[in-house]
Amino acid sequence: MSIDDSTRYCWVYFLKQKSKVAEVFWKFKTLDKNQANYKLKMLKSDNRTGYTANKFEKYCKEARIHHQLTNIYTPLINQVCERKNMIVMDMASIWLYLICSCTICEEKQTRKKITVRYLGYNNNNNNNKKGYKIFDPFTSKVIVSRYVKFDESRT
């Protein structure tokens, strides 16, 4: 999560590995420079492995970004980020109540009646699929379908 200290604007990036921090930060810095038209001068982060890797430190030096590290396990020093983490986690916990069981109702030839979980609406123009994002717990796959029947009695 990246937060602008002056405006409190927040960018959230999900990482599968801590080693990807440098790559994602580089993309964030480029995006931020293009959108806000200002240069990043200082970065404050915790003293954990993702932000102290050689690749990340080297990138900060090359980009002339002052990297300030806070002490580990001292959330009082990094209050803005810690508070934003709490807000994001609270927002994520609300989604637990919005999950609804549903059934995919495709054409008669391919009709499957499987109980799946509704994740959201897919409006992604890159893959030209518009419909409901459904998670199938049996195959652990996400399916996009337009024909879904929601069972609101089982929420």
Architecture of the domain made up of 2-95: 2-Layer Sandwich (3.30)
Q: Give domain limits for the chain.
A: 2-95, 99-154
- What's the Rg (C-alpha) of the chain? 21
**Which distant-in-sequence residues (6+ apart) come within 8 Å of 2 by Cβ?**
10, 11, 13, 25, 28, 32
pLDDT values of the chain reduced to their tens digit, one per residue, 155 residues: 778 777 788 878 877 887 788 888 888 888 766 676 777 888 888 777 667 678 888 888 888 989 888 887 777 777 887 788 888 777 766 555 455 666 666 555 455 555 666 555 555 555 566 677 777 777 888 777 777 777 666 55
Q: Which of 153, 71, 142, 63 is nearest to 104 (CA)?
A: 142
CA pair distance 143, 155, nearest whole angstrom? 20
Supply the pTM of this predicted model. 0.50
The pLDDT, as a whole number, for residue 45 is: 81
